[in-house]
A and B are shown apart, each in its own frame.
Chain A
């Protein structure tokens, strides 16, 4: 069982924070196949958030195939869910290291790096590559 927490400073919506925390817990192995997620009632009673927000987050996780709702009992991590580092993650990680090395050589500091990275992530979320304007 995981416990959700909210960070009000990130600017990330509550719904997305819940989704990300489940994905993160799966990747780190804090959540395993068969584990139950807190019930909607438990989450709202603890965090004082709108129940529809939790439902929406759980629906999204369900659509991704990570969890499944069982009527009357709750929401559980699916048995066949793939956990752990994704294929290709190591290669991406070392590619990122090389990119950081180049950025350092170009004189960027940590703040510059973060700003650049966050900007790229945001742009990607808003305009996925497939739809990007020429």
Chain B
């Protein structure tokens, strides 16, 4: 199987509001996918649709080759979903949570769960509500890893964690990915840390997919151009993601492979964070797989 999630014209409406609409994407397997977007962009809805927790209003979604809504018994044992706020039964002791996991999951790996708790120094006798935020996140991660899933769906997994706990969490997650060849889809609105941990990016803006692709490819396919003041034609160019003018100078963030750019432009590499911010600030901009490189700004200005 080449894709872990495949959505076709996927849409979800709550009342009169489309939380997600016209989403088509194929997420390749074995990747760590960052789902980025402002609050309300549809990240949680996308993850909940993937976990089969809500029904699509329009279109289709397949997870690991099956419909999470119609075939939950095939999908659920193979995925691990952690909702925002990492819900755990607060009065349950850690060991009781692990016991719950064992009874509910046929493929439960009790040794993995126990050894993770031991290594992280999380006391088994402590009720979940008395754990630190970092430890709660680690217990939630352990619960889904011990299921031995093929894919994790994590909604804002590092939100609210202090920098140390965040780093420990990501270290543990990456270790699990290396050990088990897991696919991961995680949502976030912090870009900086994701650049290292994720290798695939989906940007959601206003309920639609703006960008989907490998992070290395995206970085290679964008440049910042600085040159003499350009006319208004750059503003309508679909490959221009962001523009700004001063009296004599124009700065553009452009989708291009860097070839064939007119020598008036000074060409700079651009980091992932700037690319993401440029797309987010222009919700109509798109870069869906295999962007049309043929229309690179060869003759500009």
Contact = CB atoms under 8 A, between A and B. Distances in A.
B interface secondary structure, majority = helix
Contact of B196 (A11, A41, A50, A122): A50
B199 A52 contact: yes
Given A15-B216, A45-B171, A48-B167, A40 B196 contact: no
Contacts, number: 55
A11 B268 CA distance: 12
Contacts of A6: 196
Contacts of B170: 48
Interface string B181-211: 0000000000011011111000000000000
Given A11-B271, A50-B196, A51-B174, A41 B216 contact: no
Contacts of B31: 52
B271 A51 contact: no
Contact of A49 (B30, B174, B192, B219): B174
A19 B88 CA distance: 42
Contacts of B174: 44-45, 48-51
Interface residues of B, number: 25
B79 interface: no
Contacts of A122: 269
A44 B177 contact: yes
Interface in B250-279: 258, 267, 269, 271
Given A11-B271, A14-B196, A50 B32 contact: yes
22 contacts: A8-B192, A13-B216, A15-B216, A41-B175, A41-B178, A44-B178, A45-B172, A45-B174, A45-B175, A47-B171, A47-B196, A48-B170, A48-B193, A49-B174, A49-B196, A50-B32, A50-B174, A50-B199, A51-B178, A52-B31, A53-B199, A122-B269
Interface of B: 30-32, 167, 170-172, 174-175, 177-179, 192-193, 195-199, 216, 219, 258, 267, 269, 271
Interface of A: 6, 8, 11, 13-15, 40-41, 44-53, 122, 126
